[in-house]
Amino acid sequence: MAKLSDRTANALVLGAVVTGFLALMAIGLLGVSVTQRNLAFTDRVAHTYEVQDAIAEYRILNEQMETARRGYLLSAEAQFARDFQANLERLPQALQQVEDLTRDNPQQQARVARARAITQRQVEAARASVALRRAGAIDFDNDVAAKETRALRALTAEMARDEARMLTERNSERLGSVSQLIAVIIAGGVLTLAIAVGSLWVIWRYTRDLTESHQALAKLNANLEGEVANRTAELRRANEEIQRFAYIVSHDLRSPLVNVMGFTSELEAAAKPLDALVERLEAEAPALLTPEAKLAVTADLPESLGFIRASTQKMDRLINAILRLSREGRRVLTPEPVKLDALLTNVAGTLKHRADELGAVIEIAPNLPLVVSDRLALEQIFSNLVENALKYLKPGRPGRIELRAHRRGERVIVEVIDNGRGIDPKDHSRIFDLFRRSGAQDQPGEGIGLAHVRALGYRLGATITVESALDLGATFRVSLPVTLSPDAVAA
C-alpha cells in the first residue's frame, strides 16, 4: 500500500468529515420535509375518518327517525312519537356537520344540497304521516316519507363510498410517504456508515504509517547511538594507545639519553687532564705541540661537547614534556564545585612576583560564575595562559592582563586578555601544536604550554580559541561546560 503523505492524509480526513456532516444535514432536512408531508397525509386521512363519522351519524339519525316513525305508525305509542321528534330535531345539525366538513369537496357539497332537499321533503312527509296517525288514520300505501328515506339512504351510501374511496387513496399516499421516510433514513444511515468507515480507514492507515515511521526513526536513533558509542569507544582506545605509546617511547628514549649525557660528562672529565697536558707541553716543550692538536684540545673538543650537552638537555626537556602530557592524559579527573573568583585569584597570586618584576598588572573581574570541574586541570590551564601573557608582553608598554568570565547557556566562557605583542593570525592554529611556537624566539620555552592547555581542555570538555593580531594583544577564550559530565571523566 502506498504511503500517504501528511498533507494528503489531512486533506482526506478533513474532506471525509465535511462530506459526512453535509450528507447528514441534507438527510436531516429531507427527513423533516418527508415527515411534514407524512403529517399532512395523516391529517387528511383523519379528516376523511371525521367525514365518514359525520355521514354515519347522519345516516343513523335518519334510520332511527324512520324506525321511530314506523313504530309509531304501527303502535301509536307516545314513546315512539318522542323518539321520532328527538331524532328529527337532531337531523339538521348532523347534516350541517357533514356540510361543514366537506367544504373542500364540491361533489360532496352537491350531494349534501340534494340530501337537504330530500330531507326536507322526507321530514314534511314524516310529520304529516305522524300527524295522520295521531288522528287515527294510517296510509301505508302512499308513504312518501319511506320513499324519501330510501332515496336518502342511497345518497348517503354514495357519499360514504366516496369517502371510503378517498380514505383508501389517502392511506396509500400516507404509506407511500412513510416508505419514503424509511428510504431516506436508510440512505442516511448507509452514507454515515460509509463515511465513518472511510474516515476510519484513512485514520487507521495514517496512524499505521505514522507508527511505522516512528519505529523506523527509533531504530535509526538506536543505531545512531550505538554508532556513536562505538566511535567513542574506538576513539578512547586510540587515545589510550597514543598515551601508552607516548609514555613508552619517551621512557625508552630516556635510557640512551642517560648514556649520552653520562659519557659526555665522562669525556669532559677526561678532557681536563688533556687540557693540563697541553698547557704543560706549551710551557715545557712547545715544539712537540702541533697547532692542530692544541686547537683540538682547547677549542674543538669543548665546543663539540658543549653542543652535545645542549642538544641532549633540550632532548631531555622535550621527552619530559611528552611524558608530562601523557601522564596528564592518564590522570583521573575529579570534578568538584570550583569558584572561578578564588581559582583565578590563586593563579594570579602565584604569578604576582613575576608580574611585579615586569611591571605588569593582573586584573580579575568580580562576580565570576561557579563551575563543576577538575580544579587542578583548571589551575594548570589558566596558569599557563597567564604565564604566556606575562611572557609575551610588548616591550615598552605597561603590561595589563585581564581575567573575565561569563555564563552562556550550559557553558562558561573564561577570557584571558592581554595587551602584549599579539600573535600573527596565520599562526593561530599552529601555536596549539606540540613544540610549535610563534613570533620572535626571544623567550625560553619548548612550545609545550598551549599544547598542554589544549589537551587538558579536551579532557574537561572545553575548547580554547584565540583572537589576536600582531601588536594588538591577545584574547584566549576557554569555553567550559558548567558541569563536567562523569562520562567525560571516565574517558
Partner 1 sequence: MNDSRHVTIVMVEDDEGHARLIERNIRRAGIMNEIRHFADGGSALRYLHDDANGPAHNGPALVLLDLNLPDMSGTDILADVKSSERLRRTPVVVLTTTDDKVEIQRCYDLGCNVYITKPVNYESFADAIRQLGLFLSVIQVPEANA
Q: Residue type for 340, please?
A: L
CB of 261 to partner 1, least distance (A): 5
Please identify, using beta-carbon distances, which residue of 108 and 312 lies nearer to partner 1: 312
Please tell me whether residue 272 binds partner 1 under the rule CB under 8 A.
no
DSSP states of 153-222: HHHHHHHHHHHHHHHHHHHHHHHHHHHHHHHHHHHHHHHHHHHHHHHHHHHHHHHHHHHHHHHHHHHHHH
Quote the CA–CA distance of 169 and 178 in Å, as a whole number.
Answer: 14
Count the site residues for partner 1 by CB under 8 A.
18
Please identify, using beta-carbon distances, which residue of 35 and 320 lies nearer to partner 1: 320
Q: Which of 3, 161, 236, 251 is the binder for partner 1 (CB under 8 A)?
A: 251
Please tell me whether residue 264 binds partner 1 under the rule CB under 8 A.
yes
User: Phi, psi at residue 443, to the nearest 5°?
Assistant: -120, 145
Please identify, using beta-carbon distances, which residue of 261 and 455 lies nearer to partner 1: 261
Please identify, using beta-carbon distances, which residue of 6 and 252 lies nearer to partner 1: 252
Q: Look up residue 478 and give its three cell numbers.
A: 576557554
Please tell me whether residue 254 binds partner 1 under the rule CB under 8 A.
yes
Per the DSSP assignment, residues forming a β-bridge with 117 are none
CB of 259 to partner 1, least distance (A): 4
Instruction: For residue 386, give the nearest of 441, 449, 433 by alpha carbon.
Output: 449
Q: Which of 221, 232, 265, 334 is the binder for partner 1 (CB under 8 A)?
A: 265
Give 3-state DSSP helix, strand, coil % of the chain, rounded to 5.
Answer: 75, 10, 15
Q: Look up residue 182 and give its three cell numbers.
A: 424509511
Please tell me whether residue 257 binds partner 1 under the rule CB under 8 A.
yes
Please tell me whether residue 191 binds partner 1 under the rule CB under 8 A.
no
| Helix (H) or strand (E) segment spanning residue 3 | none
Please identify, using beta-carbon distances, which residue of 17 and 270 lies nearer to partner 1: 270
Please tell me whether residue 255 binds partner 1 under the rule CB under 8 A.
yes
Please identify, using beta-carbon distances, which residue of 165 and 251 lies nearer to partner 1: 251
Map residues 308-347 to x or -, x wherever contact with partner 1 holds by CB under 8 A: ----xx--x----------x--------------------
Please tell me whether residue 376 binds partner 1 under the rule CB under 8 A.
no
Q: What is the dihedral of CA 130, 134, 138, 143, to 10 degrees?
A: -10
Q: Residue type for 74, please?
A: L
Please identify, using beta-carbon distances, which residue of 57 and 316 lies nearer to partner 1: 316
Terminal Cα distance for the chain, rounded: 48
CB of 386 to partner 1, least distance (A): 27
Q: Residue type for 63, please?
A: E
Quote the CA–CA distance of 312 and 417 in Å, as a whole number.
Answer: 36
Please tell me whether residue 304 binds partner 1 under the rule CB under 8 A.
no
CB of 266 to partner 1, least distance (A): 7
Quote the CA–CA distance of 315 and 436 in Å, as a whole number.
Answer: 15
Please identify, using beta-carbon distances, which residue of 187 and 267 lies nearer to partner 1: 267
Q: Which of 262, 302, 349, 445 is the binder for partner 1 (CB under 8 A)?
A: 262
Q: Look up residue 461 and give its three cell numbers.
A: 570538555
Q: Which of 23, 261, 301, 482 is the binder for partner 1 (CB under 8 A)?
A: 261
Q: Are 449 and 388 in contact (CB under 8 A)?
A: yes
User: Cell 308513504 sits at which residue?
Assistant: 143
Please identify, using beta-carbon distances, which residue of 126 and 319 lies nearer to partner 1: 319
Quote the CA–CA distance of 240 and 30 in Å, as a whole number.
Answer: 83
CB of 270 to partner 1, least distance (A): 11
Please tell me whether residue 259 binds partner 1 under the rule CB under 8 A.
yes
Contacts with partner 1, residue ranges (CB under 8 A) = 251-252, 254-259, 261-266, 312-313, 316, 327
